[in-house]
Every structure is written in C-alpha cells, then in structure tokens.
Structure 1
Amino acid sequence: MLRHKRRFFGHFCARAVSVAVGCALVLSPAHAADTYDATIEGAPNGLKDKLELISELIEGAREYPTAAALRRAARRDIETFNGALQAAGYYAGKASFDLVPPDDDGKTRVVFQIEPGPAFQISEYEVLFEDEAEGRPRSFDEAGIETKGAADGAALRAHQQSFLSVLWQSGFPSAEAIGRRSIANLETGAASAVFVFRSGPKAKFGPPQIEGLQKTDASFIRRLKTWEEGEEFDRSKLTAYYDKLRETNLFSTIDVAPGTIGDDGVTPVVVTLEERKQRTIGAGLSFSTSEGPGARIYFENRNIFGHGENARIEIKGSEVEQSITGNVTRPLPRFGGHAFGSAAFSNETTDAFKARTFVVSAGLSKRWLENKLETRGALALETSSVREDGIEERNYYVSLPLSVIWNNEDDLLNPSSGFRASWSVTPYTGSDTFTQSEISGRGRVHVGADELITFAARGSLAATLGSTLDDLPRNKRFYAGGGGSVRGYGFQEAGPLDADNDPIGGLSRIDGAFETRVKVMENLQIAAFVDAGSVSASNLPDFSDEFFFGYGGGVRYITPIGPIRADVAFPFDKRESDRGFQIYIALGQPF
C-alpha cells in the first residue's frame, strides 16, 4: 500500500509539471511579476499612484502562468479601478486594458487605459432623516457647515461626519449616519449628494452612572463632570469629561458614553473605569564630570483617600547635593486646580558654599486654557545653615512663591512640539527682605521629513531686588555653569571667582543655549550646541558683563522611556582653573 501511494504521487507531480511550473515550486512575489509588465496610462495627476497601490497585477504577488489568467486578473483590476474613479469624483470615468504579446524580453504587457472624464462637482446637498424629531438641522447651511463642492469620497465622508457631529452637539446623543449617495448628471458634469441620518429623540443630560470603581470615591468622579443635569446634550462635553478623567492619571481604562434615553428625555452618562495600580517606584542615574555620579529614586502613591490625592517621596544624590522631598497634591474639581503641600531637606556641598536647608510650603494651583496655562501661589517657611570660609550663618525666611507657567509641550523627556515659558516672583522676608524673579522659555522647530533636523533653544533671565551681594546669603545667589546651565564649565563656575577660584555668584543671571539635533537613524540623533551665561553683581541682568561660552556635541539614543543623552563640552575661553572639557550623561533632552 505504501509503495502504491508513492507511485501515484510521482505520477501526479509529473503531470502537474507538464501543465504548470512544478509540484513543489512556489514563486516568491519578486519572481511572480518576472513574466509580465503592467502599466497604467491616462490617469489624472495624483490618482495614478493610488491605482498602482490597489492593482493586483502591479503588486505582483501572484503567479499568472497563462494569458487567460492575466486577463482574469486584469478584469478584477478594472473593477477596482472603476470603483476608485467613482470614489475620486470621476463619475463618468472608465478603465480598460490591452494585453500585448511578449516582445524580445519575453514578457507579456498589460496596459491599463484610464479615461477619467470630467471631475464632477457637487452642486446640491440634500439631508434626509429616517425618523421624526424636532429641533434638528435639516440642511448643511442650517448646520453651519461650509461645502466646497468636492465630489470625492473623502470629502463626502468628511461632510457626513461634520453633520453627525452637529447632531451630537445639538442634543441628539443617539444620532447615526445611515448612508450617502451621489446622483450624477453626465451631461453637465454636476452631481447632487444625498445623506441619510437617523437622529433619534432629543435628550438632556442626566447624572453619570459610574461602573468599575474600587478605591476611588464616586463623588469625586461626579464632581469632575462637565455638564449640568437637565441641560441639552452636547457630545463635546463628554469629550471634555473624558479628558478630565484621563488627566487624573488614576485609570488604565476609561469609557464615557451616553446611556439609553428615558421617557422624560433624559440620558444618563455611562462611565466605565478600570483603576491603574496605585503605587509606582522609579529610579534614574546620571553622570557629569562637574557634579559626579548622580542618582534618584522616588515612590509615588496615587489616590490615597479615594479623591485623586497623590503623594510622592523623592531622594536625590550627587557629589554636590543630596536631598529628600515629599509632595502631596489633592485635586479641587470645582476650583479647576489643585491644593498642594511639600517638605524638603537638602544638603549642598559646593565650591561656593556649604548649606543645609529645610523648607515647608503649601498652596494652590489653577489651570486655564485647556490646561496649557497654570498659575501657582504658595506660602513657604525656610531655614538654612550656610557655611562659608569657616563661618556658619543661620537664616530664616517666610516667602510667597508666585508663578505663571505656559506649557503645551507634548512630552516631558523628549518633547517634539510646543514650548514652555514661565515667570516666577518670590518675595522673602525674615533674616533679610528681598525679592527674586526669573523668566525662562524653551522651544524647538523641525526641518525635513520625519523631523530630520531639530533646532532647539532655551533662555532665562533672573534678578534680585532689595538686597546687595554682600547681604545676600550664598545659597540664595544666582550661579551659572554645569549640565543644566553653561555646559563646558564646572558646576557654578561660569561666572566670577574669588582668590581661591571659588564661585562668588551674583544678584542676577543671564543664560541660554542653542542646539541642533540631526537624526542619523530611527532611534539615534547627533547634536551640536553652544551655551552662554553671565552672572552679575547688579540687581538686574547686565548684558555688558562678561559672558562665558561653552560648545560641544553629543548623541541622543531614543528609548521607550526617553532619550539617553551623552554630551562632551568645552569652555570657549578656558581659564587656568577650568577643566579642558566636561562630560554629561543623563536621561532626557537638555531642553
């Protein structure tokens, strides 16, 4: 029996080889099109490329061993092309093909001829409803939708979606698009478009029906709602509500949808949530020749009491500073912001001074303009012990930190769009009375396809009013130099030095940087930069004081958690006390 099967299989293969190519031979796509050529002629500009993408023969993924097989494939392409012409607004268009016998190269040629005819324009838009309801728009003009007459499928689909959005925003939560069609007049080259909708009954907002909560208090979710119960339904308010829920950072899954409309015309809002894990532990490492190795570790606990509270403890350490900070925030939905409190202890050991500082603060923040603008105000109590030249000084301050921050950047560690600008004013009283203020900004632009080249820049101005340099404690002075300031100089060393080559600091500061990044691979950038800074003994920034310049380059390796950055920088005008170069390794773009 086994021998008989072998003879039968061999006989079958032998016959198959004589008809086609071979029993065991499968041509790859690259070989399948080697026996023919397919071209498209007569297609309008912009349409030819699209037709080539949807053509079975031009794709070349199958084998066509006979002329009959090529004709069948060509007819399938003709049906596809005619549909594409209709979708592009060429309602009178048609496609045909010719099969040209093999020439010297042995290839059969399939030549598609496209006769597009005129590009039709929509001269009339008609809106039909399958049901009855009051208060709904019945035409595009009534809905405030501008029409431009384009007859292609994408334009008609966009018009349909726009009208549907108007229905959703006009109190019809269950509105849906049923269909659309075009009626063409082949003699005039004009067409009318007919859209069919089902609006359902008009509705008013009801209360949120919340599902899936475990730790979170339902009253907190209800306070976030963006509508008043009893007002006309508007789906855009559901989108705003979804955004508010997402911004709490408490949920891994969020679904917000209108419920079934009741006999009283009220629709509840069904909110389905899945809470994310409450606790997060993270860590980071850095290194620079100016500050030595650095590390940080943080612990975050979200939603402590079920109302979106967030507690975070962070420990940071390097050769020049060690600190521990604790922050607690609580959302205030009706206020549109947060209440916050913090406590921090730091130990700074630099060439300029040695200081131990403890600060506690509490305040409020509020967001405006779709959360892009934030205003903050706080009350802070601070005490510090500052040692300079063997003399220790104890200071006490009460301060009122105030700030305005604009931030529409799209990412914390690797922003590709948007910019950030801030202005802060902090009056101090206690051991001394003075006010410090700082304004800063950063942004970037991209050039070339796929953000090939990025030009990034940052700058800041800082000032101290109401004090002199001798009266201001060293830990309250402004400094420049280091990885976050003027690269190429040591930490705090891009400024005046005393007789021992230790930084003096100043009452005001100017610093900025410009960087060019070029993408050389999908996940790799090379960068070149120039940094500049000046520290002055005057109360306001003085552009006539000496500026310190650093320059250099580096690489940015893009990872899922952010770019890993390695830079080498050089001082432009090296002093005897300056190192010849500085190295910086960290996570995230510098700005």
Structure 2
Amino acid sequence: MQLLRLLRPGVLLVVVLLIAATGCHDESGVHVLGLEIEGQRVLSTEEIRAVMTTTTGGVLPWSSRPPFNRETFQEDLVRIARLYEARGYPDARVSVVAADLNEKGDGIRLRIGIDEGEPIRIESIRLEGVDDLPVDLQARLRANVPDAGGPRDRERLLEVVRVVRETLLDHGYAHAQVELNESPGAAPRTVALTVTATPGPVAVFGDITVVGNARIGEDVIRRQLTFRPDDVYRQRDIIRSERRLSSIQALQFANIDAPPPEGGTATRIPVTVTVAEDLLRRLELRAGYGTEDRVRAGIEWAHLNFGGGLRQFTAAARWSAIDRGASVGLVQPYLGRTGWSLETSASSWWRSEAIYTSETTGGRVGLSRRFGERAMRFGARAPSDVLRVSYVIERLRYMVRPEVLEDVTNVDTLIALGLDPIDGRGRGTKGALAVEYERTATDNLANPSRGYSVSALWEEARPTLGGTFDYRKLTMEARGYVPLGGTVVAGRLRTGTIVAESDGDAPFSERFFLGGSTSLRGWGRFQVSPLRDGIPVGGRTMLDGSLELRVPVRGPLGAVAFVDAGNVWSGSLDATVSGLRTSAGAGIRYATPIGVVRTDIGVQLTPIDGLLIDGEPESRRWRLHLSIGQAF
C-alpha cells in the first residue's frame, strides 16, 4: 500500500500518457528511442537505470532497439520507488512522466521526473555484544560502523552487518551472529539503530575429511589447504583454500564445508572437502588464420597427474608462416612445504620475420610461486600473483634475409649488429638468469572488461652463466580495463630496454621491433624501428601504448576505435616522448566459443620517412589486421 501511495499520482499519469501516446498502435512495434531521468540528486542516473528493465539499446545507428512494454515500464517505476525507500527516502515520488511518439509512430521517448523528498536519518547507531572481545578486534569492528546523521541506507547497513560478521568469522568465532534492530528516534523522521553481535566461543578447525578423489592422492588435496586441524577457525582460510583447489586443472569442482554444529557451543569444527576429478590426460588441436602468421596449426598433449602428485607433463608443437617448433615441459607443483613449484622445459623454434630468420634451441629450469591470494570481496576478482625465477640456456642462430642484405650497403652496420658482413649470419649461446613477476586482476582472461594486469621481466645474460652474450634486458607492461555501461575503455603501456656495451653483445633476435596487429596498427609487423639504409634493424629501447574504446553493437558483434603510439630507439634507456610514432583506426569484434575474432584497420598518422619495404619506398599508409583474440 505504501508503494502505491508513493507512486500516486505518477502511475495514474503514466497510464494516461502512455494510453494517449501509443493510442491504437501495436505496442510490439514501438521501440524505445530515448529515456531521460530528471530531478534526482542523491542517486545517480546510472544507479536508477540499473534497476530498470526498460532500456534504449545501443547508441549506433545499427544498434538494436528494445521494444516498449507498458507493463514493464510501470513496474520500473515501482522498482525506482523501492530503490529510494531502501536508500532512506521512503517519500520519493515519480512526479512527472512524459511519453512522446515519433512521427512514424514506431518509436517513443520517455522522461521520468523524480521528487526525492526528505530522508529518514540515523539519529544514533550502536554496536553491542563485543565488549568482552580483545581490544584490537573491538576497534576493528567499530571502525565498520558508520557515523550517525546520514540517511537510513538499508543496503549500506546490511553491508555493515555482513562485514561485522565476516570479521568475527575471520577471528575464530565460527558461531557468530549479527542482527540489526531499529526503533524510532527522539526527533521526527529519525531512527535509532543497534547492531547486536553474538560472537559465541572461539573455535578451531576439527578433523578434515576428503571425499570425491579417486586418482588424485588425498595428501595432494590436503596440501592445498591453508589450515590444519586445531588451527584457529578463520573463514578466509576456507575461501583461500577453495580458490587454491579450484586452480588445479585436474579438478572440475571443489567445495569446503565447515558448518558449525547446532547449539552454538562446539569449539572444534569438522571440515569436509569435496572434489570432483576431471580428465587427467588431454589432447588439444588448434587451427586459425591471421594476416601475419597466415594459416596456423598446433597440437598439445598434457598429463595432469604424471607419476602422481599432480605433476604435469606437456608436449606441444606449432606451425605457422612466422614460427614453428616443438616443446616439452614438466612441472613439479610442490617442493616440500615451501610453496614453490619446479618448472623445466626444452624447446626448438624457428622464426621468420620480415627482416631476419632465427633458430633457438635450448631449455630452462626454474622455480615459480603463486602468492598474495585473497578472498573475493564485494564482487571483485582477487588478484593472482606469480613470481618465477629461471636459468635459461639457449643456442641461437639468426640470419638477415638475402633480399634485405642486398639493400644494406654499409658493411660496418652488419658488423656492429654482430652479423657476418658477407652472409648476414650470427650465432651464439645465451646463458641467463630471468626473474618474472605477473599480477592479474581481471574479470575474464580472454576478453576482459574490468580490472588490470601488470608484469615485469628482468633477464641477466653473462658469459659466466654459460653463454657468449653479455647484456641485461628489462621489460614492463601494464593493462587496464574500465567498464562504462556496456562500453569498455581499455589501455596498455609497454616499455623495455637492453643494456649492453655494444649492439653485438646482445642477440639480433632479442632486439625490439614494433608494428603489426598488436602494436602500432597501420604498419606491418616489425616495420617500426631505427633504420639503416632504409631497413628496420631493431633497437635497444622500446615504448608502446594503446587506447581502445570497445562498444557493443548487437549480440556477439562489437566495434572498436583505437589510438596507438610508440617507437624504438637505437640506444639503451633512450626513449623520448617527442619521437613517438602514432596511428589510429577502427575495428570489428565478434565473440565466438574459441575466442574473439578481430579485424582492425589502422592508419599511420606519422609515417616513417625513408622506410623501404621489399627494396621500394613505403607508400601504403594503412594496414588491415585479422586475428583471433583482443589486441591486449
């Protein structure tokens, strides 16, 4: 009855206006062209639109336009009133509603006016039932209680109740219960609130039972748990342990159940870990096409419990126009109880770039560790942190293409780059220590729309480590994704540098190049770098950035507008903002079960004077890029 009162005379006005506006038109043929909201001060337009079913669709001319439904629109008005009541404004009214048909009679523009009214305010709020707890825990609990004077926002108050209870659960109070009680305040339009906590006794984890495992040892499952019997009960340990179990590829499902027994007095809480095993042997075949690598194919076989203990063995091969080769790898996930995993791999790869070809054969052995795991809170995905430390030993052979060699007339250039001046060949052995750090906090790894990721790689190659090269390489990258309604703003920044006494102290195949489908679109692959006789020869410092606006169009179809900027410089730590090359363009995205199919057209805004392609001056200022997966 209260909601009907709040909506009068708004709902009556809605009925009159919509009947008059739509007349005898078939409602299924009328689409929503516009929706405006006026008069809101406390809540944003986005918050109000979030509770409405009536929408206007996309902003592009070809975007779908949702049909108008009179009953749904009236229900939206009720939902708006409920939203305001929940936020402490029970007298808010939908005071003005306008509905205008276009000339064709197939589109309607809606306008909602809101009179928010005065709020019910919190006169006082107390936290009771925690006086016997440790002082530091009391302080933490009281810090979550808001100050008096604000509106009675039920959503925020329920969040206070939740956080207080979770805090108690994370400090051993497995039986904790929290209630919110409300009574009229002394002043008009005020309430007095009491948050009452019943902590119960401090509890510990009891016996742990593992069920559902058949081929994976129970010790492997227990090793993923961050708690042991008789440890203080903490809900965050249960959540962290579930996350660790869920990260195991050999498991389809993992759940940890530790409900306190009824009665509220038990101090030892039994735990049941339930898992469902997945296929332990997997064979994957891959195929695709891109404008750079042309037809590509790959195969990978993996054993996820090789010899037991969740030891992982993989064998893979890949073939395309720009790279082909094979690799094998073995991961020992546990080294005692240190939390580190042992990773070993061996590979042989051949690469074919526009300027050179290279062969790399060797392997690496190293340690990796995942850390910084946190429980999910407020709907955000917890960051995943990985640290890897590796020793790398590789034999490299590379050769400048004969057709490119013919265009390089300066013999000193080849010698400086560590290449034979006669045949353009180079070779050597890389012995290096590598340290890599990654943090990923996105909502989707393949097609993110929210969150961020950062990574850094430091590589130290020295003759004392078994190689012939002598250099230091550092690369860093950051990505960010911000949702704006259905649209996503995505950005990336990369930089890298090679520190060496001379160009010949680092492999030619390690030098930086830009251009292609994932950097400086508008140029071909590896076309952006310092030039020698018009030929890109790579450099020792790189800076690259991209900004994209990803807009949904209809269903799986989306559109993108982008700007790229970057360049490569000859020396170490030699980047300058004034020397950046830029490009801009647009593209189409189509989401499929195997990934996002991507088509981009990039246009050079700052062409490179003197660039030679196939021995001729570069005249084309645009490129079409086709690939699978987002650019970043």
**Is the partner of 1:408 in helix, strand or coil?**
strand
**Is the partner of 1:219 in helix, strand or coil?**
helix
Residue 482 of structure 1 corresponds to which residue in structure 2?
A: 516
Distance 2:220 2:261 in 1: 25
CA contact (8 A) 1:352 1:474 kept: no
Letter in 2 for 1:212: G
Aligned residues: 508
Measured after TM superposition, the shift of residue 542 of structure 1 is 5.5
CA pair 28-393 structure 1, distance change in 2 beyond 3 A: closer
Letter in 2 for 1:458: L
State whether structure 2 residue 155 is matched by structure 1 residue 143.
no
Measured after TM superposition, the shift of residue 524 of structure 1 is 0.3
CA pair 545-514 structure 1, distance change in 2 beyond 3 A: closer
Distance 1:147 1:29 in 2: 51
User: Given the two structures, how large is their TM-score scaled by the length of structure 2?
Assistant: 0.67
State whether structure 2 residue 476 is matched by structure 1 residue 436.
no
> 1:566-585 residue pairs with structure 2 within 5 A?
566-571=599-604, 572-573=607-608, 575=612, 576-578=616-618, 580=620, 581-585=622-626
**Is the partner of 2:309 in helix, strand or coil?**
coil
> 1:126-525 residue pairs with structure 2 within 5 A?
127=128, 143-144=141-142, 145-149=144-148, 150-177=151-178, 180-185=180-185, 188-194=188-194, 199=199, 201-259=201-259, 265-278=267-280, 279=282, 281-288=284-291, 290-332=292-334, 334-370=337-373, 372-387=384-399, 390=423, 395-416=428-449, 417-429=451-463, 430=466, 432-444=468-480, 446=482, 448-451=484-487, 454-469=489-504, 472-496=506-530, 503-506=536-539, 508-522=540-554, 523-525=557-559
**Is the partner of 2:452 in helix, strand or coil?**
coil
CA RMSD of aligned residues (A): 4.6
CA pair 44-187 structure 1, distance change in 2 beyond 3 A: farther
Residue 556 of structure 1 corresponds to which residue in structure 2?
A: 589
User: Given the two structures, how large is their TM-score scaled by the length of structure 1?
Assistant: 0.71
CA contact (8 A) 2:474 2:496 kept: yes
> Deviation digits for residues 483-507 of structure 1, max 9, x if unmatched?
34443333333235566x765334x
Letter in 1 for 2:537: I
CA pair 511-544 structure 1, distance change in 2 beyond 3 A: closer
CA contact (8 A) 2:303 2:313 kept: yes
CA contact (8 A) 1:122 1:151 kept: no
Distance 2:496 2:44 in 1: 54
CA contact (8 A) 1:125 1:140 kept: no
Distance 1:147 1:472 in 2: 59
Letter in 2 for 1:412: L
Distance 1:368 1:397 in 2: 30
> Deviation digits for residues 85-111 of structure 1, max 9, x if unmatched?
9866579x899xxxxxxxxxxxxxxxx
CA contact (8 A) 1:441 1:459 kept: yes
CA pair 190-329 structure 1, distance change in 2 beyond 3 A: same
**Is the partner of 2:487 in helix, strand or coil?**
coil
Measured after TM superposition, the shift of residue 217 of structure 1 is 1.6
Letter in 2 for 1:354: T
CA pair 159-385 structure 1, distance change in 2 beyond 3 A: closer
Distance 2:476 2:86 in 1: 51
Percent pairwise identity: 17
Measured after TM superposition, the shift of residue 584 of structure 1 is 2.0
CA contact (8 A) 1:433 1:466 kept: no
Distance 1:566 1:140 in 2: 57
Distance 1:296 1:384 in 2: 23
CA pair 28-201 structure 1, distance change in 2 beyond 3 A: farther
Distance 2:564 2:240 in 1: 42
**Is the partner of 1:157 in helix, strand or coil?**
helix
CA contact (8 A) 1:410 1:418 kept: no
CA contact (8 A) 1:304 1:310 kept: yes
CA contact (8 A) 1:434 1:464 kept: no
CA contact (8 A) 1:413 1:587 kept: no
Gaps of 5+ in 1: 1-26, 32-41, 63-76, 96-113
Measured after TM superposition, the shift of residue 293 of structure 1 is 3.4
